[in-house]
A and B are shown apart, each in its own frame.
Chain A
Amino acid sequence: MASQSAAERANAHRRRTLGLRQDLTSFWFLLPILAVFVVLFAVPLAQTIIYSMTDFNGYSLNMHYVGWKNYHSVFTDASTMQGLVFTILYAVAQTVLVTIFAIPLAVTLNRKFWGRNFARSLFFFFSVPSLAIMGMVWKYIFSPMKSGVFNTVLGVFGLGPVPWLSNSTLARCCVIFIAVWAQIGWHATLYLAFLQSIPEDLYEQATVDGASSRQQFVHITLPQLIPGIVTSSFLLMSGGLKVYDLPYTMTKGGPGYSTYTVTQSIIQQGIGQSQYGLGSALAVLFTVATALVVFAQMGAASLISRRFQ
C-alpha cells in the first residue's frame, strides 16, 4: 500500500518536473517576443501615458504633472481637431468606397473573359508600390498648372485649369480618390477568394428556379460575401485610422490643415516641436480610439459569423 502510494508520488513528481521542464522550454521560445513586447510596446506605451500628463519637452529633466491639461489642449487645438476630422473622414470614406467598387470588380473578375488574368494582376499591382511614392507621383498628375495631366486632359475639352490640391474640398477628395484607386485591386482579390468558396450549386439551383442575375447577386452573392466584407472593412478601417504616408507626401496635410492626419499631428507636435506631453495625449486618445474600433469590429465579426453559420 505504502509502496504503491510512493510510486504514485514519484510518478506525480516526475510528471510535475516534466511539466515544469516543458514550461521552461515553452518560455525560451516565447522569450524573444516577450522582449519585443516589453521594449517596443509595454514600456513605450507606459511612457506615452506618463508623458501625456506632464509638461515634458524632451530637454528639461524636471517635468511637472499637469493632469488633464494636455488632453484639454488636444480638444481645443484647431489643427489637431481638423486632423481628427480628416482622419475619420478618410477612414470611413475609403472603407465605404473600396467596398462598393471592389465587390462588383471581384464578381466581374470571377467570370470568364479574355485577358482575365492580366486584369487581375494589373488591378492588384496598383497596391504593391508604396503609397508614399504614389502620393508624390499623383501630386504631379493633379498639378494645378496647365501641364498637370488632369488639367491637360481638361484643356483638350476647353476647360480651364482646376486647382486640384490647393482647394480644401478638392484636396480631400483627391487624397481619398487615390487611396481607393490603390486599394481596390487588393480588396477585389480578397473578395475573389470568398467568391470562389461559394458553392456553385447555389447558383445552379437559383437559375433553375428562374432567378435573374441581379436577384442572384442580392440573395446569394452578397450574403455569402459577408465574412469577406467583415475582413475587408476591418483592414480598411484600421489601416485608414493610421493613415500618414499618402496625405503627407501629396499635400503635407494642406492646404491649411484640410488633409492633416492624427499621425502627422503626433509626429509634428510630439517629435518635431518637442511637445511631448501634447503629442503623447493625442497618442493615448488615438490608441483608445483604435482599440475601440478594432474590438467593435471583432465583436461584429463574431456576431455575424455566428449568425451565418
Chain B
Amino acid sequence: MSSSKSPTLTLSQRERQRSAVRSLVVLIIALICAVPLWYILINTFKTVPDMATNPLGLPKQWTLRNYTRAFATVPIVRSLVNTLIVTFFGVLLQVLIGALAAYGMILRKSIFTSVIGVILMIAFVIPTQSTLIPLYRMESSVGLVNTLLGLIVMYLGGAVFCYFLIVGYMQSLPFEVIEAARIDGAGPLRIFWSIVLPLIRPILTTVVVFQTMSTWNDFMTANVFISSSNLRTIVLQVYNAVGQFSTDWPSFMTITVLALIPVFVFFIFCQKWIVSGLVAGAVKG
C-alpha cells in the first residue's frame, strides 16, 4: 500500500511511517476501550444533574462532595481493612500450604506421593460451585458463616492451584543443593525455610500476585458467606452501594473509584511481576 503511494521512500522511512500509523490506530483503540474507566473517574466530580445531562464530558463545576458523602455514608475504610485481612491471610496460607506440599512431593517419590498427585489433580478439576452447598452447611454448623475467618477458610482451596504452579517450578531446582544441606545436618523444615523458599522466589512472586488479584476481587464466595454490613469486603460493598445509591450515580461511581484505587496501585507496583509471571507460566505449560 505505502510502496505504491510513495516509491521514492527508503525502507527506514517506510518503516517509520508504518509505525506512526500503528501508534495512531492502537492508541485510539486503547483509548476507546478505556472510556469506561474515564467515565467512572470523571463522574465522581459531578453533581447528579450534571452527570445525567453530560455523562462523558468534563464537569461544569468540579465538586468533591461525592467523596465526603461516600466516606460519611459507607464504611469504605472498614471494607478495605476486611478485604486486606482476608486477602493477606488467605493468600499467605494458600501459598504456604501449596509450597509445603510441592516440597513434600519432590522430597520423595513413593506410591504415597503419586496417590496424592492424583488426588490433587482431581481437586484441581472440582469447581468451588459444586461444593458450595455442603461447605455453607459445614461452616454454618461451626459458626464460621458470616465471619472473616470463615471466608479465609474458604479461600484455602486455592492452595491446590498454588501447588500446581510451584511444583512445576520446583522440579527444575538443583537438587544437589538440598542434598548438600541435608548432609550438613540441616533438618527438612530448616532446608525448606532457608534454602527452598529463597530458591523458588520467582514462582512465589507470581503465585502471590495471581492469588492476591483473585482473592481481592472475589465476589461469589464473599456474597454467599458474608451478610453483615461491617464484614463486607470492598467488592460486596460496591455491590451493596448499587441499591443504596440507585438514583445517585455520582456517589456510586465515587465508591467504585475508591474500591479500584488499591487495585490500581497494586497493578502499578506489580505490573512487572504480573506480566513476567504470566510469561513464565505460559511458556512453561
Residues of chain A touching chain B, judged by Cβ–Cβ distance below 8 Å, are 22-23, 25-30, 32-34, 36-37, 39-41, 43-45, 47-48, 51, 58, 108-109, 111-116, 118-126, 128-134, 136-141, 147-149, 152-153, 181, 186, 189-190, 192-194, 196-197, 228, 231, 241-242, 244-245, 248-249, 262-263, 266-267, 270-271, 276, 279-280, 283-284, 286-287, 290-291, 294-295
Residues of chain B touching chain A, judged by Cβ–Cβ distance below 8 Å, are 19-20, 22-23, 25-27, 30, 33-37, 39-40, 51-53, 55-56, 96-98, 100-101, 103-105, 107-108, 110, 112-113, 116, 119-120, 122-123, 125-138, 153-154, 156-157, 159-160, 163, 188, 192, 213, 216-220, 224, 235, 238-239, 242, 249, 252-253, 256, 259-260, 263-264, 266-267, 271, 274-275, 278-279, 282-283, 285
Q: Are A51 and B133 in contact (CB under 8 A)?
A: yes
Q: Are A124 and B275 in contact (CB under 8 A)?
A: yes
From A108, A192, A249, B239 is in contact (CB under 8 Å) with: A249
Q: Are A262 and B97 in contact (CB under 8 A)?
A: no
Q: Are A125 and B23 in contact (CB under 8 A)?
A: no
From B27, B127, B249, A140 is in contact (CB under 8 Å) with: B249
Query: With contacts A29-B101, A130-B219, A249-B219 known, what are 8 further pairs, Cβ within 8 A?
Result: A32-B100, A33-B116, A40-B156, A45-B130, A115-B26, A194-B283, A245-B219, A279-B133
Q: Are B30 and A129 in contact (CB under 8 A)?
A: no
Question: Could you tell me the distance in whole angstroms from the C-beta of B47 to the nearest C-beta in chain A?
Answer: 13
With the chains together, A124 CA to B271 CA distance in Å? 9
Q: Are A193 and B101 in contact (CB under 8 A)?
A: no
Q: Given A33-B100, A133-B260, A291-B125, does the pair A152, B55 have CB atoms closer than 8 Å?
A: yes
Q: Are B159 and A33 in contact (CB under 8 A)?
A: yes
Q: Are A25 and B133 in contact (CB under 8 A)?
A: no
From A131, A137, A248, A276, B133 is in contact (CB under 8 Å) with: A276
Q: Are A181 and B33 in contact (CB under 8 A)?
A: yes
